[in-house]
Amino acid sequence: MNTFGTRLRLTTFGESHGPAMGGVLDGFPPGVRLDMARLEREMARRRPGADPLTSPRREADRVEILSGFSADGVSLGSPIGFIVRNTGQRSSDYDSLADLYRPNHADYTYERRYGIRDPRGGGRASARETVSWTAAGALAAMWLDTQGVTVQAVVTRVGAVDAGDVFDLYIRKGDRKAPLVVNPSLRAAMEEEVAETRRRGDSVGGRVGCLVTGLPAGIGDPVADKLQARLAMAMMSINGAKAFEYGIGTAAASSLGSDTADSFALDKEGKVLTLTNHSGGIQGGISNGMPVYFSVSFKPTPTIARPLKTLDTGLHPVTMEARGRHDPCIALRGAAVVEAMTRLTIADMILSSR
Amino acid sequence: MNTFGTRLRLTTFGESHGPAMGGVLDGFPPGVRLDMARLEREMARRRPGADPLTSPRREADRVEILSGFSADGVSLGSPIGFIVRNTGQRSSDYDSLADLYRPNHADYTYERRYGIRDPRGGGRASARETVSWTAAGALAAMWLDTQGVTVQAVVTRVGAVDAGDVFDLYIRKGDRKAPLVVNPSLRAAMEEEVAETRRRGDSVGGRVGCLVTGLPAGIGDPVADKLQARLAMAMMSINGAKAFEYGIGTAAASSLGSDTADSFALDKEGKVLTLTNHSGGIQGGISNGMPVYFSVSFKPTPTIARPLKTLDTGLHPVTMEARGRHDPCIALRGAAVVEAMTRLTIADMILSSR
Amino acid sequence: MNTFGTRLRLTTFGESHGPAMGGVLDGFPPGVRLDMARLEREMARRRPGADPLTSPRREADRVEILSGFSADGVSLGSPIGFIVRNTGQRSSDYDSLADLYRPNHADYTYERRYGIRDPRGGGRASARETVSWTAAGALAAMWLDTQGVTVQAVVTRVGAVDAGDVFDLYIRKGDRKAPLVVNPSLRAAMEEEVAETRRRGDSVGGRVGCLVTGLPAGIGDPVADKLQARLAMAMMSINGAKAFEYGIGTAAASSLGSDTADSFALDKEGKVLTLTNHSGGIQGGISNGMPVYFSVSFKPTPTIARPLKTLDTGLHPVTMEARGRHDPCIALRGAAVVEAMTRLTIADMILSSR
Amino acid sequence: MNTFGTRLRLTTFGESHGPAMGGVLDGFPPGVRLDMARLEREMARRRPGADPLTSPRREADRVEILSGFSADGVSLGSPIGFIVRNTGQRSSDYDSLADLYRPNHADYTYERRYGIRDPRGGGRASARETVSWTAAGALAAMWLDTQGVTVQAVVTRVGAVDAGDVFDLYIRKGDRKAPLVVNPSLRAAMEEEVAETRRRGDSVGGRVGCLVTGLPAGIGDPVADKLQARLAMAMMSINGAKAFEYGIGTAAASSLGSDTADSFALDKEGKVLTLTNHSGGIQGGISNGMPVYFSVSFKPTPTIARPLKTLDTGLHPVTMEARGRHDPCIALRGAAVVEAMTRLTIADMILSSR
């Protein structure tokens, strides 16, 4: 199905080359003020071309809010319906691909699942779907602001260039209120990695780190709706995500218990904290009041400007060549999507833990 | 809440030191024969002490099936209720811990979530919960057998000893029907790693690899119920899991598109396959007919035989010392639980994709 | 929340005086042809003024389908997003009502639920919501046609004029294929009852009977998703519905077992049927292959052209007088909505029973 | 499936002639004290033979609580698992029925749904299922007590003997705190009606009225989870229920708007009320603070001591004769079940409206 969440529930629709994308965000709390400027900022950030190194193709993704707010922009507790028109649906780019099963794409699997496939493009499997998630995530952010919860995601790796763990970025910041950023020289190296990959007609993978601050202790359930399980589900729903790690992540497999115990202590105001945070802010599926952090690894963009062997829909071997320009690194756009899906998940979990 | 799944739905209950663990497995297809011997084998495998290197403490985990099967052992399409009595509930082991917030345990977070905590032990946060999952997973296996689907999990890493990727283990097997196994010398090295860790009073992390074969193409949904998202949620629900990776996993972040394209081709019988399987058997959230594989990284057991600094429930600093013997490596027992949760998830997804 | 159904799932949005109503119909089977003419017919039927005796106010309810179908109108298995713009949102009709708690309306209860209320009109409580249900129900009908299932609803009572039980109407028809209709003279009497009520500035209740034919045996679940329970939930979701009865309904309370036993027998083709149908086509929550029938009783329209005592939002006693013209009989428009919600429910139950 | 509710969620299992009935009540709030005496009282009340006029057969329905409470009987916020053993499973009573499709029973429909049927008795379709609902409803009552909410159900009709509307019974009581009761002479007439029916080897229908007091305004959702829709679904899930009416119910169809407007006013303490309560305490799907009331009509017990024509499972015509003693009036036992299901639904709706 096409629904995320339990108490804050996003249901989406839209084919990449159909008339519009859109969704319904249900369970949104009443009394929250709509900030259209913020919504537009988030949409711009997700847009291909927003990052200097992604594809220069630009889309004007204007979100139309159809319900859920009063005439003066205060949420009513009712479902928020929204749409984003698909402009410039030049499906001609895809015409030559309609009878191919592209490698690492969903063409073949979608057809096996439903017995039919939208010949106009990626259909529901297209990353264009994330336009709806980004819009809904921006709305979730407006409510999270009222709860003092902040979600930030940054690209922490592109190919061989690794900026390290997201929690270390946070710890190294002098000012806890300052935005999370990657060291400028590493950021420049990442940009060069993407540029070089594009020049070679290739694509490259990457990793996004995400940090949640201000989350109170006691959010999440101990068994079936563990906070990390819900985050993992949300992150692995993002197109191209191949791995989810929280706290020490894969390093856990080679760790010792004596090195990774997060001792409880009191801070100067007498608030409970842990002296280290290998747990990633979650213990037994429930937040402990420390920052929650995790990473998502993304595969390289599957469409590359090189010949690829595959089958056509008649099951004959063919060599395909993609036309047009493509973002070579999914992870770059992924940061905005990771933020959006994290906001939706965290907001849902707070509402579900009441 | 305490429910996993949509069409095949497991709801569990039980505190580790209460009268019984148990659950209801709803949506189980009619006409499947109950194999009690197999159920008991799976239960034995999960049991602490089953693996030569885990704790010698033994529990007799007898599953009592209360419904869902006819008198002669054929499933009726009705919910399967089952219980496992908690024998030897020697909560005395825990008495001295009842007023502590143990590091990396759920004591503090559970209390913040519910305002109350079962003083008799880990309550719902205890790994004893996995006894119910294992029972339900064994039932799911009986139906998966009728569909030709096989799920196997093995420990692929303990601390520094790494047996590599689970799909490589599969590829290297001469006989595709033979069980998935780790090279005996590596297995011996893992056992020595656990033994050495226990001698030092410490604990160590590990990794479990899981392989699903026989799954047809077309299982999973393209947006909100992607097969990998549901698997990630299930795996990150397991106690101590810190990372989920499928296909190339975290290596995706440093990969090139040209190296990781899985070209479609036909096998000798004219069946569609991919020449490589970096995708992990899933494309666009839907199975493509290739083996599905993934890995789960586990943290070291949080309870160790060394002094740890923490707070008591009155928020006073204390140094705690755990008594009793503990499995130093969660991952060892984790393999049986990974298998069980994978079976439940895969069976649910097959039923949901009809 | 705002979602109906499990496998075929309708999520709606929209305030009566906001920009648009709309919804997402998820789980719709692939391969069904879109029939826009039929969709428009159903929308026209629901429209106030469609029935000669309802309010002459007319709305142009054009449904815009935004997703879920290929360019040539075949369903893709993906969610169907649709919107209906609210034209002529003359909220001025409501301005004088914004600070009143109208009797038998949801003004007071909505405000107690959410702490806020849309001052522009009925918001989510408005019967305008049924425009989305009707659109989705028309889509469901297109799939039900492929399954040979037909749903028909007729007004069987207005005030004192009672046309009797809907199953009797069916039995009395000579031609089983002919549409279900009420005797013309009774229909004329109903129309006169409505006209007379309107002349008096009053409103009147009514009853809608609904008949489902072609439903195979075996649809529904034996415990928590009984077919009649799901139908009752859907019917009691319709604005103004006060009672749901299936089979013999309230007459059951005064019946004898010996008079109401539906004996099983074989028809000429050797198909199992029951000789009578007091059960209403459902036994133990599951369809038995006989026609399913039920009735829904509707209250009079709460807004009448007479002074009514109530409180304003400052809790001061006031006497209100409604302006504008109102349908005096909810049940007249109710027939189209009963059909739509029944189609959605039946389609969902068929898909859920697979 | 076999789950009721959203935030307070009951999942049940058990065949009438299997080892045990039982369930899991999930989402139960922490900090509630377990009152075993009350639980046993409710179980005794549901028991056949509890009412002087029902069957003299007696069952010892002891509920074993397996989880969810601390050792000293305080709820932990964790799921409550419970079982009730089936004693005296004399399936011999059913042996002669195993190859029959009994009229108005679920034998035929269950077999069409699942392709298999428990030959030992009614399986999941048996009214024995209500033993689990009653246990869970008693637990819900313990929490509702802490919220000041009271649910009472009484038999208001047996065959021709009609004690009138449940809200009238409430209004006529001098003392608002006194239990809801039917006039003793009418009650005696009902008992005589049942006795006479039994003497004739027949069965008779009845009606149960239910009253909810103490429910605050603001409970329920305006569209898809209307309070009356959820109550209707719960009531129509009860074995033998044929109609649900709330407020004026079926009388709505013949009512005028001018006669049924519930004017808002203030009581002496300045609390909002309505001067009449035709709405049944619910407006727009949300409670308004007035008592909620509704009625459920039950069919006669389908098993009667008279010959009935039907088919056997080989589809041959047969005449069956039931053996053993049977309650001739479902409604008598229905009152306890109506109370239990109402408590579960109301508690769920309160928790869902937070």
What is the rounded CA–CA span in Å between residue A63 and residue A75? 16
Using one digit for the tens of pLDDT, what is the confidence trace for D295-321?
999 999 998 989 999 999 999 999 998
Distance from CA of D234 to the nearest CA of A (A): 21
Chain centre distance of CA D100: 28
- Number of helices (H), then strands (E), belonging to chain B: the values are 9, 17
Secondary structure E strands in chain A: 3-4, 9-13, 20-26, 63-65, 80-85, 100-101, 150-158, 161-162, 206-213, 241-246, 264-266, 272-274, 282-283, 286-287, 292-298, 308-312, 317-320
> Chain D within 8 Å of A224 (Cβ-Cβ)?
no
Contact assessment for residue B283 and residue A106, using Cβ atoms and an 8 Å cutoff? yes
Contact assessment for residue C107 and residue C117, using Cβ atoms and an 8 Å cutoff? yes
Beta carbons of B288 and A112 less than 8 Å apart: yes
Instruction: Round the CA-based radius of gyration of chain C to a whole number and report it.
Output: 21
Name which of C63, C66, C75, C86 to mutate to probe chain A: the one with the most chain A Cβ atoms within 10 A of its Cβ: C66
Q: How confident is the model at residue B282 (pLDDT cuts 50, 70, 90)?
A: very high
Using one digit for the tens of pLDDT, what is the confidence trace for A56-102?
445 568 999 999 999 999 999 999 999 999 986 555 555 567 789 99
Encoding tokens for residue A318? 């063919």
Nearest by Cα to B51 from B149, B137, B158, B140: B158
* A333 pLDDT higher than 70: yes
Give the H or E element holding residue D155: strand D150-158
Q: How confident is the model at residue D57 (pLDDT cuts 50, 70, 90)?
A: very low
Q: How confident is the model at residue D185 (pLDDT cuts 50, 70, 90)?
A: very high
Contact assessment for residue A130 and residue A338, using Cβ atoms and an 8 Å cutoff? no
Give the H or E element holding residue D283: strand D282-283
317-346 in chain B: CB under 8 A from chain A: 317, 328, 331
Give the mean pLDDT of chain B.
92
What is the rounded CA–CA span in Å between residue D141 and residue D150? 8
Cα distance between the two ends of chain D? 26
What is the rounded CA–CA span in Å between residue B8 and residue B344? 7
Which residues share a beta bridge with D246?
Answer: D294
Instruction: Please list every residue in chain B whose beta carbon sits closer than 8 Å to the beta carbon of residue A222.
Output: 106, 110, 113, 123-125
* C298 pLDDT higher than 80: yes
Nearest by Cα to A317 from B290, B257, B263: B263
Instruction: Please list every residue in chain B whose beta carbon sits closer than 8 Å to the beta carbon of residue D115.
Output: 30-31, 77
* B230 pLDDT higher than 90: yes
Instruction: Round the CA-based radius of gyration of chain A to a whole number and report it.
Output: 21
The DSSP line for A30-58 is TTPBP-HHHHHHHHHHHSTTSSTTS-S--
Q: How confident is the model at residue B142 (pLDDT cuts 50, 70, 90)?
A: very high
Give the pLDDT score at D33. Answer: 98
Encoding tokens for residue A162? 């690794």
Give the pLDDT score at B228. Answer: 98
What is the rounded CA–CA span in Å between residue D351 and residue D230? 14
Listed in sequence order, the DSSP H helices in D47-129 are 92-95, 107-114
Contact assessment for residue A323 and residue A93, using Cβ atoms and an 8 Å cutoff? yes
Q: How confident is the model at residue B89 (pLDDT cuts 50, 70, 90)?
A: low
Give the pLDDT score at A48. Answer: 60
Give the mean pLDDT of chain C.
92
Residue of chain B whose Cα is closest to the Cα of D10:
B11
Give the pLDDT score at D60. Answer: 63
Beta carbons of C12 and A19 less than 8 Å apart: no
Contact assessment for residue A331 and residue A206, using Cβ atoms and an 8 Å cutoff? yes
Q: Measure Cα distances from A9 to A36, A299, A352 in Å.
A: 21, 28, 11
Give the pLDDT score at C92. Answer: 52
* A314 pLDDT higher than 90: yes
Q: How confident is the model at residue A114 (pLDDT cuts 50, 70, 90)?
A: very high
Mean pLDDT, range D76-93, rounded to an integer: 82
What is the rounded CA–CA span in Å between residue A9 and residue A29? 12
Torsion angle of alpha carbons D327, D328, D332, D337, nearest 10°?
60
Give the pLDDT score at B202. Answer: 95
CATH of the domain at C159: 3.60.150.10
Give the pLDDT score at B57. Answer: 47
Encoding tokens for residue B354? 């009809």
The DSSP line for B19-60 is SEEEEEEESPPTTPBP-HHHHHHHHHHHSTTSSTTS-S----
Among B152-166, D128-142, D241-255, D316-330, which stretch is predicted with the lowest mean pLDDT?
Answer: D316-330
Instruction: Please list every residue in chain D whose beta carbon sits closer than 8 Å to the beta carbon of residue A78.
Output: 222
Nearest by Cα to C4 from C103, C140, C128, C107: C140
> Dihedral sign, CA of C262, C268, C272, C273?
negative
User: Phi-psi region for residue B5, left (φ > 0), alpha (ψ -120 to 50) or beta?
Assistant: left
Q: How confident is the model at residue B117 (pLDDT cuts 50, 70, 90)?
A: confident
Instruction: Please list every residue in chain A whose beta carbon sits closer than 8 Å to the beta carbon of residue C18.
Output: 66-67
Beta carbons of A78 and C13 less than 8 Å apart: yes
Closest by Cβ to B244, choosing from A108, A244, A264: A244
Encoding tokens for residue D161? 């003997």
> Range of B330's domain?
3-353
User: How many domains are there within chain B?
Assistant: 1
Give the pLDDT score at A90. Answer: 56
Mean pLDDT, range B338-344, rounded to an integer: 98
Mean pLDDT, range B1-15, rounded to an integer: 97
Give the pLDDT score at D118. Answer: 82
What is the rounded CA–CA span in Å between residue A60 and residue A82? 15
* B303 pLDDT higher than 90: no
Encoding tokens for residue B318? 């204390």
Interface size, chain C vs chain D, as Cβ–Cβ contacts under 8 Å: 363
Distance from CA of B342 to the nearest CA of C (A): 23
What is the rounded CA–CA span in Å between residue B132 and residue D81? 12
Distance from CA of B202 to the nearest CA of C (A): 49
Mean pLDDT, range D161-170, rounded to an integer: 95
Encoding tokens for residue A354? 């009441």
Give the pLDDT score at D37. Answer: 95
pTM for the structure as a whole: 0.96
DSSP state of C129: G
Touching subunits for chain B (3+ Cβ pairs under 8 A) = A, C, D
In this prediction, what percent of chain B has a pLDDT beyond 90? 82
Instruction: Please list every residue in chain C whose beta carbon sits closer than 8 Å to the beta carbon of residue B78.
Output: 222
In this prediction, what percent of chain D has a pLDDT beyond 90? 82
Q: Which residue has the higher pLDDT, B108 or B55?
A: B108
Among A108-117, A314-323, C275-284, D46-55, which stretch is predicted with the lowest mean pLDDT?
Answer: D46-55
Q: Measure Cα distances from C150 to B45, B100, C40, C164 in Å.
A: 53, 65, 18, 21
What is the rounded CA–CA span in Å between residue A47 and residue A66? 22
Give the H or E element holding residue B312: strand B308-312
Contact assessment for residue A232 and residue B246, using Cβ atoms and an 8 Å cutoff? no
Give the pLDDT score at C285. Answer: 97
Among A165-179, B45-59, B143-157, which stretch is predicted with the lowest mean pLDDT?
Answer: B45-59
Mean pLDDT, range A14-19, rounded to an integer: 93
Encoding tokens for residue C323? 């302006």
Look at chain B and count its residues: 354
What is the rounded CA–CA span in Å between residue A354 and residue A347? 11
Single-letter amino acid, residue B142: M
Name which of A28, A74, A76, A128 to mutate to probe chain C: the one with the most chain C Cβ atoms within 10 A of its Cβ: A76
> Chain B within 8 Å of A37 (Cβ-Cβ)?
no
Give the pLDDT score at B92. Answer: 52
Q: What are phi and psi of D237, to 5 degrees?
A: -85, -15
Mean pLDDT, range A138-157, rounded to an integer: 98
Q: Which residue has the higher pLDDT, A312 or B51?
A: A312
Give the pLDDT score at C119. Answer: 75
Nearest by Cα to A337 from A80, A75, A153, A95: A153
Among A188-197, B70-79, B166-175, D147-156, which stretch is predicted with the lowest mean pLDDT?
Answer: B166-175
* B119 pLDDT higher than 80: no
* B49 pLDDT higher than 60: no
Which residues share a beta bridge with C298?
Answer: C206, C241
* C53 pLDDT higher than 80: no
